[in-house]
Chain A
Amino acid sequence: EAQVTQNPRYLITVTGKKLTVTCSQNMNHEYMSWYRQDPGLGLRQIYYSMNVEVTDKGDVPEGYKVSRKEKRNFPLILESPSPNQTSLYFCASSFLPQGQPQHFGDGTRLSIL
């Protein structure tokens, strides 16, 4: 089954404790992206990647890192999480962003205390 898989689905952690949210897709997509969704603010893009070893900042990259060493994986890294990064996070992928549908994961709900 074609899918985007995020782990963990839920995480409660404390300020400053490094964490990684994994994202994996099995559709051989070149393009992958991370979004965060906050009440009243909609989805905002954090980082995106057009292909392996190619990543770019989205609208809200501060406090996040990403890597794209393999086509299928695009982990989101919070080196020193803070409470303002408490949010619902979505990973998405597509063949190319130009006019192609993006497939989304089920989301990761992070709470930073």
Chain B
Amino acid sequence: DAKTTQPNSMESNEEEPVHLPCNHSTISGTDYIHWYRQLPSQGPEYVIHGLTSNVNNRMASLAIAEDRKSSTLILHRATLRDAAVYYCILSGTDSNYQLIWGAGTKLIIKP
């Protein structure tokens, strides 16, 4: 199964942009890149996903490298409510499109 590598934790200041990196050097052509987050004591929450092109939605932007071996989740203006564990996940034909979860990045927002 394709794997992802993320930093264990990151800190950022409130109201500043946050760039969360993810490496997925073994990604295959059919793998989608998903980002979810999990706030304390809650279930995971969908953030964004993409296949090849950069994606934007109301929560975040997803920048995918041209070779697709890495991606970056961008929170344009972090708030305290964005403090969570962020998971970068691949899904594709190898895993029958199931999400294979890693440890994620714990994002700490400083006021």
Contact = CB atoms under 8 A, between A and B. Distances in A.
A109 to B, nearest CB: 10
A93 B44 CA distance: 12
Chain A residues touching B, majority SS? strand
Interface in B35-50: 36, 42-46, 49
A107 B91 CA distance: 23
Say which size band chain B's interface belongs to. Answer: 20 to 34
Chain B, interface SS category: loop
B93 to A, nearest CB: 9
A107 B104 contact: no
Most buried by B among A33, A35, A96, A104: A104
A98 interface: yes
Interface string A92-108: 10001111011111110
B17 to A, nearest CB: 23
Nearest to B48: A101
Contact of A99 (B36, B42, B51, B100): B51
Interface of B: 32, 34, 36, 42-46, 49, 51, 87, 91, 96-104
